[in-house]
């Protein structure tokens, strides 16, 4: 089945009630991911939220305990090889197969598996990312391994990229270059991307959808404009002893020394928020848009314990 024949609906990736447990701990809990075709979907979550587990299930490297996952309409459990053929995957951790191969040898080896492998593009990426062809894979540093993984993921121009913390371990120079290469890649070829990161600001210019995982649950999932409309920074004038209504999920609360001026991030439709605040005696002086990272942080726990 081809990629275009296989896709169902407008979603390149969809999961249905996906759950995964490790012993008594739940890594994913009834996750219904929806990644629109052609989206750059940023997956956000604190350490241990379940991001890597989700990628592994999509790559059929882990079996879910309940639910299912589809990539371009293919079942990731049943059609694993067909799915993998259409995916460029950068795993969070590098397992160590092919350690004795050189980087050039591994790229040659990988090219045989992908009909769409573009040798000239692979050379371009390897040069741009400073991959040294003669170096043995087993002797690469964490950042060098990441560079090689990026070449492996992009060089066959797959319709789907699954990037699990793709800039983790890269030095600042290569990090910036890798993001520029990714932007070029997306401009050249229609590609859906699911990318997890702890550096959300790096994807400010690329992201168009955001999903937030918290303790294995997808607690928010929406287009970027909706996120930035729904989560806003408020400047308020409040009465003495005021505290925000908890249903507005207040975060980043700061008070002036006199206590009457408050800044905080609140979740909800702006008019509804203003109405609820008015009921507590607070007056909105200003509401403003947040950067992507600050907006996404509204759904993460402020206390890491
Ligand atoms: N192979 C495993 N065996 C046991 N527990 C696991 C295993 N893999 C993941 N977990 C647990 O599942 C939960 C989710 O882990 P996962 O690696 O998916 O989180 P993450 O969001 O990618 O975290 P990070 O941001 O730190 O990379 C964690 O509590 C983790 O300890």
Nearest CA to ligand 1 atom 28: 48
* Nearest alpha-carbon partner for 182 in 169, 193, 172: 193
State residue 96's pLDDT score.
60
* Nearest alpha-carbon partner for 145 in 129, 124, 158, 161: 129
Pocket test for ligand 1, best of 48, 162, 296, 299 (most atoms within 8 A of CB): 48
| 179 and 241 part of one domain | no
Establish whether residue 50 lines the binding site of ligand 1, counting it when its CB lies within 6 angstroms of any ligand atom: yes
Structure tokens at 242: 């005021």
Atom of ligand 1 nearest to the CA of 198: 25
| 203 and 234 part of one domain | no
Nearest CA to ligand 1 atom 30: 48
Kindly give, in sequence order, each residue whose CB lies less than 8 Å from that of residue 235, ignoring residues fewer than 6 positions away: 261, 262, 263, 284, 285, 286, 287, 288
| 73 and 204 part of one domain | yes
Gap between the Cα atoms of 187 and 167, Å rounded: 19
| 117 and 260 part of one domain | no
State residue 304's pLDDT score.
60
Distances (CA, A) of 297 to 40, 44, 49, 63, 231: 18, 9, 14, 30, 10
Mean pLDDT of 139-154: 95
Atom of ligand 1 nearest to the CA of 55: 18
Tally of domains within the chain: 2
CATH number, domain with residue 46: 3.40.50.300
* Nearest alpha-carbon partner for 76 in 60, 53, 54: 60
Atom of ligand 1 nearest to the CA of 28: 14
State residue 3's pLDDT score.
38
Establish whether residue 45 lines the binding site of ligand 1, counting it when its CB lies within 6 angstroms of any ligand atom: yes
Establish whether residue 52 lines the binding site of ligand 1, counting it when its CB lies within 6 angstroms of any ligand atom: yes
Quick check: 208 pLDDT over 50? Answer: yes
The range of the structural domain enclosing residue 274 comes to 226-297
Establish whether residue 51 lines the binding site of ligand 1, counting it when its CB lies within 6 angstroms of any ligand atom: yes
Residue 298 or residue 88, greater confidence: 88
Pocket test for ligand 1, best of 51, 56, 64 (most atoms within 8 A of CB): 51
| 31 and 144 part of one domain | yes
Quick check: 298 pLDDT over 70? Answer: yes
Q: What is the dihedral of CA 78, 82, 83, 87, to 10 degrees?
A: 160
State residue 1's pLDDT score.
38
Establish whether residue 19 lines the binding site of ligand 1, counting it when its CB lies within 6 angstroms of any ligand atom: no
| 254 and 162 part of one domain | no
Write out pLDDT tens, residues 34-60: 999 999 999 999 999 999 999 999 999
CATH number, domain with residue 261: 3.30.70
Establish whether residue 197 lines the binding site of ligand 1, counting it when its CB lies within 6 angstroms of any ligand atom: no
Structure tokens at 260: 């009457």
| 250 and 200 part of one domain | no
pTM of the entire structure? Answer: 0.92
Task: Report CA(53)–ligand 1 centroid distance (Å).
Answer: 6
Gap between the Cα atoms of 210 and 194, Å rounded: 9
Residue at which a domain ends, from 165, 188, 215: 215
| 264 and 125 part of one domain | no
């Amino acid at each position: 089945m081809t990629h275009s024949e296989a896709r169902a609906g407008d979603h390149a990736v969809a999961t249905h009630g996906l759950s995964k447990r490790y012993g008594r701990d739940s890594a994913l809990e009834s996750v219904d991911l929806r990644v629109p075709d052609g989206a750059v979907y940023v997956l956000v979550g604190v350490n241990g939220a379940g991001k890597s587990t989700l990628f592994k299930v999509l790559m059929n490297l882990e079996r879910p305990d309940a639910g299912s996952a589809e990539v371009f309409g293919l079942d990731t459990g049943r059609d694993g090889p067909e799915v993998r053929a259409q995916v460029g995957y950068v795993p969070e951790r590098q397992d160590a197969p092919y350690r004795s191969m050189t980087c050039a040898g591994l790229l040659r080896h990988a090219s045989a598996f992908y009909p769409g492998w573009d040798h000239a593009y692979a050379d371009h990426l390897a040069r741009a990312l400073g991959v040294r062809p003669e170096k043995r894979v087993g002797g690469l540093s964490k950042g060098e391994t990441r560079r090689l993984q990026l070449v492996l993921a992009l060089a066959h121009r797959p319709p789907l990229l699954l990037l699990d913390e793709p800039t983790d371990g890269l030095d600042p120079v290569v990090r910036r270059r890798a993001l520029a290469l990714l932007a070029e890649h997306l401009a050249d070829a229609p590609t859906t991307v699911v990318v997890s990161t702890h550096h959300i600001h790096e994807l400010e210019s690329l992201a168009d959808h955001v999903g937030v995982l918290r303790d294995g649950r997808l607690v928010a999932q929406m287009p970027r404009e909706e996120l930035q409309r729904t989560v806003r920074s408020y400047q308020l004038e409040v009465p003495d002893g005021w505290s925000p209504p908890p249903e507005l999920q207040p975060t980043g609360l700061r008070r002036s020394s006199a206590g009457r001026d408050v800044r905080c991030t609140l979740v909800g439709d702006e008019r509804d928020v203003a109405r609820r605040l008015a009921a507590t005696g607070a007056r909105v002086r200003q509401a403003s848009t947040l950067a992507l990272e600050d907006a996404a942080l509204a759904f993460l726990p402020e206390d890491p314990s």
